[in-house]
Amino acid sequence: MAIRGSLSEASLPDVLQLLAMGNKTGTLTLVVPGSGGTICFKNGRICHATVNGRAIGTEDSVFVMFKWNDGSFSFEPSLRPPADAQLVSVDPQELLLEGARRVDEWSLIEKKLPSFDAVFTLDRQQLLRNRSTFTEEQQRLLPLIDGFRDVNELMRVAKMGEFDVGKALFGLLSGGFLIAVGAREGSSIAPDSTINEHRNLGIAFYKARMYSDAAREFRRITELRSTDASASFYLGLIALRESRWNDAATAFQRAAVSAPRTAAVLMNMAYAYERLGQLEKARLAFEQVIARSQRQEPLAHLGIASIALQRGDVDTAANALYAARAAWGSAPPSAAWYHYSGVEAVMRGDPERAAVILAEGVSRYPVSAALLNNLSAAHEACGNFDEAREAYERSAASASASGL
């Protein structure tokens, strides 16, 4: 006799207990939004289970389905496991007890791991500073986390279950050893019309500089659709404008998990990390921009140069500045490029070269007070006091004209 029902009215644990007590043989099929799965029984014991699109074992498949509460189920006594299925014999009651514990812990894991499409890279500086011992599962995952594999791929390659991978990643994320850098596109349940209404209002408020109102609309989107990258991105931009660097970094991390194109997300994340003084995380974010982008990203190279100069690493800065200028091609580099190139020359003890670079920058950006001020300092270091005074006066005039 077939059994059918709704998971909102009868939970999966209730259904499993019913089939176990009845010593049933057959297949329980679950259909939920965006997924589904099957649990096969033989004389009341679970002998095989799968989740659509997941290459995980029977027990882990059942644990995944424990979290489903919106969908339908049906039990067909005539359905048997696939001929090539690897059969087991598990008491459903044992899985129910373990599943209850896992679901409780999973509620914490989900807060840091909102999607199995998430892609992470390692914060190698944090790893070098680490003095604690990683778990066996974390040690298996660390060599596989490369900035390109998502969580589903990590599970497949590591041959680990969903819960073990989620728990290991939860620990690594909590310890600051991972940085979210992207995700494969997923789907959402919230209606697009509702999301777009909040998004349009949020963008309008943002353009009008009504940041608190804009943040309210974008936060509502994240409540309705936690993987919405655009909403998290705007929340990060608002936090940057309000100098809330930690909030900005967190928002951009969430955006990076779901963003199909992450260059802008990672660039802003790097800026937030830099303002927080977390230079290694900023450098990693800039490097991910370069590695993942299909076009030249001169500003990412420039960001690496800035970080290198802050660390006193003039060789790395010089290489990054060269790469940035090459990435611009025939287009003129930004005023910031001339600024950092001048700083690099001064740090090498070559004020004459700094003066030449900054003079070229001033010729392209004649009202840049920062370049004029730097040019004045370079001329003074060279003993060219008249040129230094002229550049300083132009800098002061430019700053006054801009209201600084």
CATH code of the domain covering residue 352: 1.25.40.10
Residues in contact with 393: Cβ distance below 8 Å, sequence separation at least 6, in sequence order: none
399 — pLDDT class (breaks 50, 70, 90): low
User: What pLDDT was estimated at residue 153?
Assistant: 87
Q: Which amino acid belongs to residue 64?
A: V
Task: Check if the beta carbon of residue 365 is closer than 8 Å to that of residue 342.
Answer: no
Q: Let me know whether 382 and 402 are in one domain.
A: yes
pLDDT over threshold 50, residue 274: yes
Q: Which amino acid belongs to residue 30?
A: L
Q: Let me know whether 34 and 123 are in one domain.
A: no
User: What pLDDT was estimated at residue 118?
Assistant: 83
Task: Give the Cα separation of 404 and 397 in Å (integer).
Answer: 10
- The per-residue pLDDT for range 282-310, each reduced to its tens digit, is 998 898 888 877 788 899 999 999 999 99
Query: Which whole number is the average pLDDT over 88-102?
Result: 85
Residue 246 falls within a domain, yes or no? Answer: no
Residues in contact with 349: Cβ distance below 8 Å, sequence separation at least 6, in sequence order: none
Task: Give the CATH number, domain containing residue 123.
Answer: 1.10.10.10
pLDDT over threshold 70, residue 259: no
Q: Among 102, 121, 139, which residue terminates a domain? A: 102
Residue 234 falls within a domain, yes or no? Answer: no
75 versus 400: the higher-pLDDT residue is 75
Task: Give the Cα separation of 309 and 337 in Å (integer).
Answer: 12
User: What pLDDT was estimated at residue 170?
Assistant: 87
Q: Let me know whether 382 and 301 are in one domain.
A: yes
Q: Let me know whether 309 and 396 are in one domain.
A: yes
Residue 263 falls within a domain, yes or no? Answer: no
- The per-residue pLDDT for range 119-176, each reduced to its tens digit, is 888 888 888 887 778 889 999 999 999 888 888 889 888 888 888 898 899 888 877 7
Task: Please tell me the least confidently modeled range out of 107-116, 127-136, 342-351.
Answer: 107-116
Query: Which whole number is the average pLDDT over 58-85?
Result: 90
**Residue 84 burial by Cβ neighbours in a 10 Å radius (0-12, 13-18, 19+):** exposed
Rounded to the nearest integer, the mean pLDDT of the chain is 86
Residue 366 falls within a domain, yes or no? Answer: yes
Q: Let me know whether 88 and 150 are in one domain.
A: no
Query: Which whole number is the average pLDDT over 392-404?
Result: 67
Q: Let me know whether 9 and 85 are in one domain.
A: yes
Task: Please tell me the least confidently modeled range out of 175-184, 264-273, 301-310, 324-333.
Answer: 175-184
pLDDT over threshold 80, residue 258: no
Q: Let me know whether 131 and 86 are in one domain.
A: no
Residue 56 falls within a domain, yes or no? Answer: yes
User: What pLDDT was estimated at residue 263?
Assistant: 84
User: What pLDDT was estimated at residue 164?
Assistant: 87
Task: Check if the beta carbon of residue 27 is closer than 8 Å to that of residue 49.
Answer: no
Residue 14's domain comprises 3-102
Residue 282 falls within a domain, yes or no? Answer: no
pLDDT over threshold 90, residue 401: no
User: What pLDDT was estimated at residue 320?
Assistant: 94
Structural domains in the chain (count) = 3
345 versus 401: the higher-pLDDT residue is 345
Q: Let me know whether 149 and 68 are in one domain.
A: no
Q: Are strands 45-51 and 72-76 parallel, antiparallel or unpaired?
A: unpaired
Residue 55 falls within a domain, yes or no? Answer: yes
Query: Which whole number is the average pLDDT over 167-196?
Result: 75
Task: Give the Cα separation of 86 and 264 in Å (integer).
Answer: 46
Residues in contact with 14: Cβ distance below 8 Å, sequence separation at least 6, in sequence order: none
Q: Among 183, 210, 242, which residue terminates a domain? A: 183
Q: Let me know whether 81 and 133 are in one domain.
A: no
pTM for the full predicted model? 0.55
User: What pLDDT was estimated at residue 337?
Assistant: 94
pLDDT over threshold 90, residue 257: no
User: What pLDDT was estimated at residue 187?
Assistant: 42
**Residue 70 burial by Cβ neighbours in a 10 Å radius (0-12, 13-18, 19+):** exposed
